[in-house]
Amino acid sequence: MAKAQDMNSMMKDMMGAFPVDTKAMEDAFKNQAALSEKLSGVALNAAEKSAEISNAWTKSTLSKMQEMAKAKAEPADYAKAMSDFASANAEVAAENMAAFAEVAKKVQMDTVELMMNAGRDMQEDASKAVKKATDDMTAAAKKAGAKA
């Protein structure tokens, strides 16, 4: 029975010698939450800009359709109105597609920048954590060596 107690005591001492840094875990969680907030901001900003582009495009199309829907004096005027609508719509479509491409490009650039900054921060945090763990383990080993 005495041997079992010694083993339990030894395991307890050994586990107590391994320092656990809860602050590092809290910091990692906070950093992840901050990154998620920034990425969500990028996505929501893009969604807002895309909605604005879509709204303007819809309004433009509807106003052009009103012009096309008006009664014409000559049958040829209907063909001209359809042709004018199609060419104006093609021009507006090209402009809006370019605007959507700009939104996508900005999202990509912002995301890459955020991820690079996060990677740099994680690398720094990992280096600090490894150094601290090494220092703590060295101190624990010295302390254990002094007891022996």
Contact by Cβ (8 Å): 126, 18: no
Question: Based on the number of CB atoms within 10 Å of its own CB, is 81 exposed (0-12), middle (13-18) or buried (19 or more)?
Answer: middle
Question: Which pairs count as long-range contacts for 26-30, CB under 8 Å and 24+ apart, including other chains?
Answer: 27/125, 28/125
Among 15-29, 47-61, 91-105, 107-121, the minimum mean pLDDT is found in 15-29
Question: Based on the number of CB atoms within 10 Å of its own CB, is 131 exposed (0-12), middle (13-18) or buried (19 or more)?
Answer: exposed
Residue 3: pLDDT band (50, 70, 90) is low
pTM of this structure: 0.65
**For position 22, what pLDDT does the model report?**
76
Contact by Cβ (8 Å): 57, 92: yes
**For position 125, what pLDDT does the model report?**
77
pLDDT of 54 strictly over 90 = yes
